[in-house]
Amino acid sequence: MKATQTNITFNTRIQDIARTMGISPRARHLIHGGTTNDLSTLKPEDIVTLVREGVLKDQDALFWLSVLAVQAEQEATHHEKLATIDELSGVYNRRTFIDTFSRELTRLRAKYDRNQYLAKDQPLAVSLAIVDIDHFKNINDVYGHSVGDRVIKGIARALTKSIRGGDTVYRYGGEEFAVLLGETNEKEAHKAAERFRTTIKKIRFVGMVGNKKKTFRITASVGIVVVHAEDIKKNKMTDTLIPIFVDRADAALYEAKHTGRDRVVMWHKGL
């Protein structure tokens, strides 16, 4: 389905180029499925050479150069997606999380520097929630890894639907997801994390045990850390702060796991 949609998008854009340029009947024939003299596999310099040798008209050369530009743009978009998206879950990957968290911390410090211009009720904070599926190994052991993969995808969809606009979901690793919540204080972060937890708990999954189909539910534990502007105001190297705040969220998650699971814990200095 994705490949078909990509082809439709590509062909539509080529048709738009053709209409805009008023290309020759021969080139128009190629757009509609002709295969003779298809120049889309050539390099731009090769097309320029054909024009100089009188083999290709200027108008047709412009068309094929436009085709190459569209192809290059789509290839760049595809490679960017591979670099930022987790293939299994479809959400952003860990590398993108690190980059985005760093930018969020830099933005937070900048807001602190000009906080006199901000609304008084605007939180000078960003929150990180780490969501971990409880007993995930048991799911793989009982139902198989393919069902485990479906659980990962299901959780990713559930989290994506549960966040606010501007918040982002990442697959941090294995059965762990990270959610960045911009301009969010403790109360709002805890409310969001409870929403994640209860949403996950309602999902039904189906797996086979022997010859029997079974429906099961899962739970998740959530650890939260809230980063206030005051926490980072003196440190301009935001990359060095990320491991500290991730460790704090992990400590809160550890507490959630060891006090019953299926719960939300906020990091505090006593953890």
Active site residues: 175
pLDDT score recorded for residue 174: 94
Cβ distance 23 to 59 under 8 Å?
Answer: yes
- Residue of 30, 95, 89 lying closest to 60 (CA atoms): 30
- Residue of 200, 245, 201 lying closest to 224 (CA atoms): 245
pLDDT score recorded for residue 28: 46
User: What whole-number distance in Å separates Cα of residue 86 and Cα of residue 155?
Assistant: 13
pLDDT score recorded for residue 33: 43
pLDDT score recorded for residue 258: 97
Helix or strand run (H / E) with residue 65: helix 58-84
Cβ distance 170 to 177 under 8 Å?
Answer: yes
What sign results for the dihedral spanned by CA atoms 203, 219, 223, 132? Answer: negative
pLDDT (tens digit per residue) in 121-139: 666 899 999 999 999 999 9
pLDDT score recorded for residue 46: 79
pLDDT score recorded for residue 49: 83
Task: Tell me the DSSP string of 16-52.
Answer: HHHHHHT--HHHHHHHTT--TT--TTS-HHHHHHHHH
pLDDT at residue 2 is higher than 50: no
Segment among 67-81, 119-133, 177-191, 209-223 with least mean pLDDT: 67-81
Q: To the nearest whole number, what is the mean pLDDT of the chain?
A: 84
29-38 mean pLDDT? 48
230-245 mean pLDDT? 84
23-36 mean pLDDT? 45
| pLDDT over 90 percentage in the chain | 56
pLDDT at residue 32 is higher than 50: no
User: What whole-number distance in Å separates Cα of residue 119 and Cα of residue 136?
Assistant: 43
Point out which residues pair with 226 in neighbouring strands: 127
Give Cα 150 distance to the centre of its chain: 17
Its pTM stands at: 0.72
17-22 mean pLDDT? 51
pLDDT score recorded for residue 3: 44
Please report which confidence band the pLDDT of residue 112 belongs to, taking 50, 70 and 90 as the band edges.
confident
Q: What are phi and psi of 235, to 5 degrees?
A: -115, 115
Please report which confidence band the pLDDT of residue 34 belongs to, taking 50, 70 and 90 as the band edges.
very low
More confident residue, 163 or 61: 163
More confident residue, 114 or 10: 114
User: What whole-number distance in Å separates Cα of residue 207 and Cα of residue 167?
Assistant: 32
47-74 mean pLDDT? 80
